[in-house]
Amino acid sequence: MFDYLAPIYDLSLKIGNRYSATPVLKNVEFESGDEVLDIGGGTGYLGDLMKKEFNLEYVVLDSNKKMLSKSKQKNIDTMILGNALNLPFKDQSFDMILCVDALHHFMEKTRALEEMKRVLKDRGKIVILDLYPYLFLTKIISWIERRAGEESEFLTPSEISRRLGLETDSFKVNHFQFLLKAKK
């Protein structure tokens, strides 16, 4: 599915910016020099915006080569073709991990969350932005994504919190999205 979306993905994010980048930029605090891992970061759209606002070391990891190739045109420090279920980093490598509109695509969500915890430094933060699973809109999106060959299973904030096993805080950012913050 993302092979076909790669050429127009940034345009769709610009149109829907308030649903992807804005909740993160408005609700997440960064410190100068933070090492940030954006899992499922695709084209690096969010990272490019964040690097303009903050002094960060920004790594985009995505499993789609065509999406990742678009990040080469942006101000991203490192782009890695990889899988969220087996992150190619040492333990405690990052101050912050972002997973924006991506968790629902991972086949083994608990494994992906465990990997996030593994590569997160002590006192680091995990930030997840996704859709509430019980909404009609989300069910339509899930149905379309599954027809396109994607995993597409959405979790509630409480399910994510339980699987992470960390102190979390989550809140509604609009009618269909939540932002969850976890601290190690």
- Better-predicted residue by pLDDT, 128 or 107: 128
Looking at residue 145, what is its pLDDT?
A: 75
Residue 125 reports pLDDT greater than 70: yes
* Residues 50, 62: Cα–Cα separation, whole Å: 17
Alpha carbons within 13 angstroms on the beta-carbon side of residue 103 total 33
Q: How many CB atoms lie within 10 A of CB 169?
A: 11
Please tell me the CATH code under which domain 2-183 is placed: 3.40.50.150
| pLDDT tens column, 53-106 | 899 999 999 988 877 877 777 878 898 999 999 999 999 999 999 999 899 989
Residue 143 reports pLDDT greater than 60: yes
Per domain, the residue ranges of the chain are 2-183
